Amino acid sequence: MSEKKKDSNELLNFLMIIIGLIFVIKAIMEFLAWAGIYTPSWAVTDAVLSVFGGQAIISMLLGFWCLVAGIGLFREEEYALGMGLVVLSIMAASGIMTMIGWVGGSFDVAYWPNYLIIVATIVGVLGFLWLLFTYKRYD
């Protein structure tokens, strides 16, 4: 009997790993700003400097689980499908809600995390749909 070779979607996996790394880096920078060790100009806001009210913990968790899911998807692991669906849906929902808040004109072109939100939202929506329609490969 020949074993069927599984074919993972490398582009989605790479994007999840890259976005995960960027979210982790963003969270580390926000934690350092909160601690007063390093304060980039984009991080000096009350929301960022408050660990419990800011996005640092969410960014760290989202980035970590995005990395785990992206690596697991390369191996076509069943657990990675569920993790990927959850992480991608959170990225999509969070990004969509943030973008709705920009409708009033609060989008800051110089604030680089805004571009991370845009890319993560697009990857979240398209990646979620892709995993939803190709879930049988993880059986």
Count the domains in the chain: 1
Domain span including residue 126: 10-138
Mean pLDDT, residues 5-32 taken together: 81
Task: Tell me which residue has tokens 């805004």.
Answer: 114
Region of 36 please: left (phi>0), alpha (psi -120 to 50) or beta.
left
How large a percentage of the chain has pLDDT more than 90? 22
In a domain, 1, yes or no: no
Render pLDDT for 78-109 as a digit per residue (tens, 0 to 9).
888 889 999 999 889 988 888 888 887 777 77
Spatial distance between the Cα atoms of 139 and 38, rounded to a whole number of angstroms: 46
The predicted structure's pLDDT at residue 54 = 53
In a domain, 125, yes or no: yes
pLDDT-derived band of residue 51, with 50, 70 and 90 as boundaries? very low
Residue pair 63/22 in contact by the 8 Å Cβ criterion: yes
Q: 101: which 2 tokens?
A: 């808040």
In a domain, 47, yes or no: yes
Task: Tell me which residue has tokens 């790993």.
Answer: 17
In a domain, 58, yes or no: yes
Q: 137: which 2 tokens?
A: 């490969």
Mean pLDDT, residues 50-75 taken together: 78
Mean pLDDT, residues 6-27 taken together: 83
